[in-house]
Amino acid sequence: MNLKGTFSVVIVNYNTPKLVGNCVRSVLELSIADKEDIVVVDNASPDNSFSYLRETLPPGVRLVRTSINRGFGAGVNFGMVGCLRELVLVLNPDTYFVDASLESALTLFDMEKDVGLVGLDLVYPDGERQFSARRFYSLLDILGRRSPLGRLQAFKRRIDNHLMREAWGAGTPFEADWVLGTGFIVRRALFGELGGMDEHFFLYMEDVDFCARIWQAGYRVLCVPGARLTHEHQRASAAGFLSKAGRRHMNSLWRFSRKYHVPLFRPPGVQGLMRGAKARPLPVPVTLSTRSASAEPPRSITVE
């Protein structure tokens, strides 16, 4: 199935230009999007990413560069401004498609108008599933996932529940509290209404927060078994608490707990999380492009 004209695509790069090229190549070879509908954001990479991508990306792919790295969420927000399609596919640079199974996720947006975001079925290169749908955290879930205690048998059932392993068994779309931001589809209008991703989360938890706000706005988050996206997974956040990645992840978890209710024992679910949510100002809507999809895009641009 030719999906061109259906999606805009946003890919945020930081020091991984060759992976970006592989991701873009898979999108084009499988006719998932037109070149003009792909936006690559170089997030102020200190290496030669921008020059490499400018020379190697296919003509027509939009390449933009920020002068300051404000984090992954900020990079997605910036790329979203250049998107024109009603649905936007957000991809990590270390992902790629090997088939057109993505179309199974597309029908959900047409059939169910309250679906705001759909997470893809992330798999390792060998085909093993990564379980990309999750439940909202309790403090014990965090402890089990981010410390050696998670290796204990006593924590296994809790971690399996957090990863929603049983939900995948039926092979049909199911509701998830949140999905990994590695690969997902979102309604562009909804993204704008919510003010995009919260840029206070530099890295980690921005996907959890964004899904929470989608639920809060009255939309649903779904995951689709079989809508495969290969992810060359490098889980930096699994490093020790004292590592740079570990400290950054814990800081984001702390910030999330300041916004929402994170109980000690039981996962809160959508309703429990919202009952404890702190009052926040209304989001400032993101101004999205109203330019025609057929208009000629700039080849590359640097934004301060």
Of 213, 126, 136, nearest to 178 (Cα)?
Answer: 136
Summarised one tens digit per residue, pLDDT across range 185-205 is: 999 999 999 999 999 888 888
**83 part of a folded domain:** yes
More confidently predicted of 225 and 141: 225
**55 part of a folded domain:** yes
Does 294 score more than 60 pLDDT?
Answer: no
**279 part of a folded domain:** no
> If you write DSSP's letter for every residue of 70-81 in order, what string do you get?
--HHHHHHHHHH
Summarised one tens digit per residue, pLDDT across range 75-134 is: 999 999 999 999 999 999 999 999 989 999 999 999 999 999 999 999 999 999 999 999
Degrees (nearest 5) of the Cα angle 42, 44, 97? 25
Q: Which residue has the tokens 């109203």?
A: 290
pLDDT band at 250 (very low <50, low <70, confident <90, very high): confident
CATH number at residue 164: 3.90.550.10
133-134 and 7-13 beta bridge pairing: unpaired
pLDDT band at 276 (very low <50, low <70, confident <90, very high): low
Q: Per the structure, how many domains does the chain have? A: 1
**291 part of a folded domain:** no
Which pLDDT score, from 0 to 100, does residue 291 have?
Answer: 60
| Interatomic CA distance for residues 143 and 176, integer angstroms | 21
- Give the range of the structural domain holding residue 22, as residue numbers without chain letter: 7-274
**235 part of a folded domain:** yes
Summarised one tens digit per residue, pLDDT across range 33-74 is: 999 999 999 999 999 999 999 999 999 999 999 999 999 999
